[in-house]
Amino acid sequence: FSCSKQVATSQLFRLWAEPRLNYFSSTGSSMMRQHSIALLRAALQHPCISHTCSVSVPGRFLSTQAGREEYHAKWQRIAWSLAAVTGVSLGAGCLSAGAESSNREAVFTKGDVSKHQTPEQRVWVTYKDGVYDITDFVEMHPGGSSFIMMAAGGAVDPFWQMYQQHLKDEVRTLLQPYRIGRLADYKGPEKKDPAEDPWKDEPSRHPALMPRSNNPCNAETPGSIVAANLITSNDIFYVRNHLPVPPEPEDPAKWQLSIGGEEARSVSLTLEDLKTKFKKTTISATVECAGNRRNEMKAVKPVRGLDWDTGAIGNANWGGVKLRDVLLHAGVDPDVCDSMDGPKHVHFLGADSDPLTGDVYAASIPIELAMASNKDVLLAYEMNGEPLSRDHGAPLRVVVPGVVGARSVKWVTQIITSREESDSHWQQHDYKSFSPSVDWDTVDWSSAPAIQEAPVTSAITEPSANTQVEQGTTTIPVRGYAWSGGGRDVVRVDVSADGGATWQETQLHKVPGQKPGRAWAWTLWEAEVTLPTPPANSKGPHQVCLICKATDASYNTQPDSVAGVWNLRGVVNNAWHRVGISVGH
């Protein structure tokens, strides 16, 4: 097997191959990945790839021979097809001359399109009957250039069916400027085999949840009820899924959690083991999506991501075992954090997998957090006294208190200690924030750390935006939530009804029993707020802007403007929350 002759230049090949390798290196078990990349590199016999990843194959975690072979076979197939496509695309010349003109628009065949798979060839894709040259868009793709490059030379339609957040006008509008022609003989969408539909087994959801995307399911708690209670009911707790919900274990008794990695024994634990061999701990902890309140960022300048309002947050009593105890059980040295060359991160791998690649959702946290006896990182099997529901990670999920939701991996099945941070897409190319002046064409994902602890935030949940109150109303009740990461308690929430000229303190409601420095649960707050006197000559309704801001135990407080914390991914928006109401209608 050799494809090296077909690769015209190493530079050209690297342009094509690297995004794909980066994609491979950002998904799947890191052990499997390294193993498979070594295979892939061997298959391609090409030295230019070597700097993209390390080659060590600590096979310790490949716990069964069958597992090893299955992964081996899968990645070998990918390596072969990659090599084959390389040969095809590089052997086909540069720009297609086969375009025909019709309706003042060029017409291309699928064969024409397939010749455009690299930046050198220009990157073409089709969507329905349209042909698009997206070369200049590739690096700006919110999901990462490597993902979009999977569609190079072909149709994006199946990917969009998979990642249905694309199926909206906003995305179609974004694509429009890149249109260069239409596809000859377009026959409409291919008929899908219902049995192949990766979304066919999604659980049903409470109708009160407000969907932000359907497949994967992303839905938030309505603002009007999100802060109604210190504990959020399971059924209306926001759902943030990145992939299809995995099927329930066929035989729950056989379900296993694997623990292993650097300086750890390989251990498998059943749910029964977790429940009987370790001390049960219950903590009240808030989980918030890093993208909560993204819609306010969109009002400043477009960002990419789900259009969350204030409801991608909730608080629950999580029951489970401490991650620290499980890691100690797996032989991790209690003083591992003092070691200069020990593992520095703990990876969590979910059972939710990408229907196209088989790669699973993954993230990692610093080992200091995982091992700290006072950080309360949990492997939770209960949510508010009930077994986890499918949407919330059944049978086991991670809950990392004080940290953005992306690290609280649901459906966790593997835990791996490692010197390296997770190289998953969600750790390396998502859930990071940048300076407001960094855009998709200038972003260097490696320049910012993965978000872990969340900043202090708050939101007004009552009244809702555009509420109309009677003329002559002098005070109104205002309520909401406040929360800060790292266990830093909220010490004060101020409300203003005059644009921040004056502030009124609010009454705070706390989950009882939180320990000092371990305030994992949010604070609810309320105040009867005095409205400003309307102008003397005012006849019609006048507008009042309500603002809230919280201060936490480190005396960090929220920034005034969304513009100052705007970032291309629309995450960690913790600016003063503003709600406009109308008085006298």
- Taking CB under 8 A as the rule, does residue 433 contact a second copy? yes
Cα–Cα distance, 271 to 381 (Å, whole number): 8
| Minimum distance from residue 335 beta carbon to a second copy (Å) | 9
Cα–Cα distance, 285 to 277 (Å, whole number): 24
- Taking CB under 8 A as the rule, does residue 30 contact a second copy? no
- Taking CB under 8 A as the rule, does residue 123 contact a second copy? no
Cα–Cα distance, 29 to 424 (Å, whole number): 9
Rule CB under 8 A: choose which of 323, 529, 558, 578 binds a second copy. 558
Provide the CA 476 distance to its chain's centre, in angstroms: 37
- Taking CB under 8 A as the rule, does residue 512 contact a second copy? no
Is the distance from CB of 570 to CB of 430 less than 8 angstroms? Answer: no
Q: Which is nearer to a second copy, 19 or 402 (CB)?
A: 402
Rule CB under 8 A: choose which of 344, 429, 569, 577 binds a second copy. 344
Rule CB under 8 A: choose which of 260, 576, 577, 579 binds a second copy. 576
Site for a second copy in 440-479 (CB under 8 A): 448-449, 451-456
- Taking CB under 8 A as the rule, does residue 438 contact a second copy? yes
The single residue of 166, 182, 347, 488 carrying the catalytic annotation is 166
DSSP code per residue over 503-526: -EE-EEEE-TTPBTTB--S-EEEE
DSSP 223: H
Is the distance from CB of 126 to CB of 183 less than 8 angstroms? Answer: yes
**CA-closest candidate to residue 31, choices 250, 187, 209, 259:** 259
Rule CB under 8 A: choose which of 419, 564, 580, 585 binds a second copy. 564
Pair type for strands 577-583 and 239-240: unpaired
Mark whether 116 is an active-site residue: no
Q: Which is nearer to a second copy, 56 or 554 (CB)?
A: 554
Cα–Cα distance, 325 to 362 (Å, whole number): 21
Provide the CB-side half-sphere exposure for 194 (13 A, CA). Answer: 2
| Minimum distance from residue 119 beta carbon to a second copy (Å) | 26
The pair of structure tokens assigned to 286 is 């808030």
Q: Which is nearer to a second copy, 77 or 419 (CB)?
A: 419
Mark whether 141 is an active-site residue: yes
| Segment near a second copy (CB under 8 A); pick from 203-211, 296-304, 348-356, 560-568 | 560-568
| Segment near a second copy (CB under 8 A); pick from 133-141, 350-358, 405-413, 556-564 | 556-564
Rule CB under 8 A: choose which of 154, 355, 358, 500 binds a second copy. 500
Query: How far, CA to CA in Å, does 246 sit from each of 194, 285, 411, 480?
Result: 17, 24, 8, 34
Residues in the chain: 585
Cα–Cα distance, 34 to 13 (Å, whole number): 21
Interacting residues with a second copy (CB under 8 A) = 337, 344, 366, 368-369, 372, 374, 433-438, 448-449, 451-456, 485-486, 488, 491-492, 494, 500, 502-505, 516-517, 549, 551, 553-561, 563-565, 572, 574, 576
Q: Which residues are catalytic?
A: 141, 166, 240, 289, 431
